[in-house]
Chains A and B, each alone.
Chain A
């Protein structure tokens, strides 16, 4: 199974500042035939189900604010939130969907400083 490791476990950022989350996979999730990374980011607000933010490592889901962006390739990925808003308080998970089982990282909890 592919192991996903996120860092840090928690993060406190001031409103209006940048938040950065890292995610590493134990093996590459880049599919060479189409040059796509099978890596997604989800946001889970307190008491809510996960919500898809980013797919293919850097494509923003419809309706997701453009302050959210994803980058990276192969085994190293980053989610960035520019200009943090209060409603961004949540746990953020990365998930690989390259090979089953489609494993998640342990999550990064984002709080307001």
Chain B
């Protein structure tokens, strides 16, 4: 069974930083792209970033490019999201998700988020 467990969220002041982690199990982690999406309180889903199976390729939403950094450690079956220069509008539940292929642009992909974790909450406030 695929399992994804996010951690690292919390209360942080504006301008601060956090590193979110997502520990994966139940599948061959290095074979799949991984995605982060977020959901502000009471609002819809926002796609944030994706990383390829080997970690060599990444893509970011414009709203986070330059402040967020996605990475992965395939020896630890973990994907990370480093979030810097935090703003109030970054307050959200952050979900990691398993992709369906090694790269997100593989034509055989059947989705972006095959399975999601339970999420970790980030609150940016002074």
Q: Which residues of A contact B (CB under 8 A)?
A: 1, 31, 33-34, 38, 40, 42, 44, 49-52, 55-56, 59, 91, 93, 95, 97, 100-107
Contacts and interface: CB of A to CB of B under 8 A. Distances in A.
A104 B47 CA distance: 7
B116 A51 contact: yes
A106 B59 CA distance: 22
A31 B60 CA distance: 22
Contacts of B95: 49-50
20 contacts: A38-B109, A40-B112, A42-B45, A49-B119, A52-B111, A52-B115, A56-B110, A59-B110, A95-B45, A95-B113, A97-B104, A97-B111, A101-B62, A102-B35, A102-B47, A103-B47, A104-B37, A104-B44, A104-B46, A107-B44
Interface residues of B, number: 27
B9 interface: no
Contacts of A52: 111, 113-115
Nearest to B60: A101
B91 to A, nearest CB: 17
Q: Give the interface SS of chain A, mostly helix, strand, loop or mixed.
A: loop
Contacts, number: 66
Interface of B: 35, 37, 44-47, 50, 59-62, 95, 100, 104-105, 107, 109-119
B111 A100 contact: no
B107 A93 contact: no
B56 to A, nearest CB: 16
